[in-house]
Structure 1
Amino acid sequence: MKYSLIFKCLLVICFVVISYLVFSRPTYSQSSFEHMDKVGHFGSFFALAWLTYGAFKPKWYWLTSALAAYALLIEVIQGFLPYRSASLADFIADLAGVAAFYIALMSYHKLKSQLARQG
C-alpha cells in the first residue's frame, strides 16, 4: 500500500514518544480529572494499534499480542523505577485501547460495505 511507509514512520515516532513519556520522571501536576493517565494509556495504545495496522496489516492476534507484550513490559519496568509504579489498571487501559481500535475498524468496514451495496 502506498501509505505503508508513512504509517511506519509515524509508528516509530509514536513508539519513541510513548516510551519516553512512560519511562521518564513525571514533571506534570495532577490533572483535575482523576484518571487522566488511563485516558492517555487508552489513546496511546489505540494510536499504536492503528499505526501498526496501517504499516503492516498483521493478523489481529499478532498485533494484540505484540502490543500486550509492550504494555506488560512498560508496567514491569515502571515497577522498578523509583518515580513510577506498575499498575494493572494501566495495562487494562492499554488493552482497551487496542480493543477499541478493532471495534472502530470493524465498524468502518461494515459501514463501507453497506455504502458500497447502496450504490
Structure 2
Amino acid sequence: MRNAKIVFYGLLTVIMWLAVTPLHVPQVDPDWGDKVNHAAAFCVLFLVGYRAYRRIFYIWCGLIAYGIFIEILQSFLPFRTASAEDVIADIAGIALGHFAVFILSRMKVSI
C-alpha cells in the first residue's frame, strides 16, 4: 500500500504539471483526444487511489475536487482554457475506474 501511495501522489503531481504547462505538441484531435486523455488519467488515478486507500467515497470526492481545481487554475493561465467538459470527462474516467474495481472484485481479483 505504501508504494501505491507513492505512485498515486506521483501521478497527481505529473498530471498537475501537464495541466498547467503550455502545450508544445499539437493534438491530432483536440476535442475527443483531450477528453479521452482526461478520462484515462482519472481512471488510472482512481485505480491507484483505490489500491492506496480503499476509500471509494473519498477517492471520488477528492478526484472530482482535483479535476475542478485543475480547471480553475487553467482559467487563469493565458495558454490554457478551462472547460466543464473536461470535468465531465474526469468524472467519466473516475466512474470507469470504479466500474473496473467492481468487476475485478466480483472476479475475486485483488487490486
TM-score normalised to structure 1 length: 0.85
CA shift at 1:112, angstroms? 2.1
Q: Does 1:19 align with 2:25?
A: no
Q: Does 1:10 align with 2:1?
A: no
Q: Counterpart of 1:54?
A: 51
Q: Counterpart of 2:74?
A: 78
Q: Does 1:96 align with 2:92?
A: yes
Q: Secondary structure at the match of 2:108?
A: helix
* Bigger Rg, which one: 1
C-alpha root-mean-square deviation of aligned residues, in Å? 1.5
The answer for unaligned runs of 5 or more in structure 2 is none
TM-score normalised to structure 2 length: 0.91
Residues paired across the two proteins, number:
109
The answer for unaligned runs of 5 or more in structure 1 is 114-119
| Segments of 4+ moved more than 3 angstroms | none
Q: Percent identity at matched positions?
A: 31
Deviation digits for residues 26-68 of structure 1 (CA, Å, limit 9, x no counterpart): 101121574111111111111111111111111x221111101
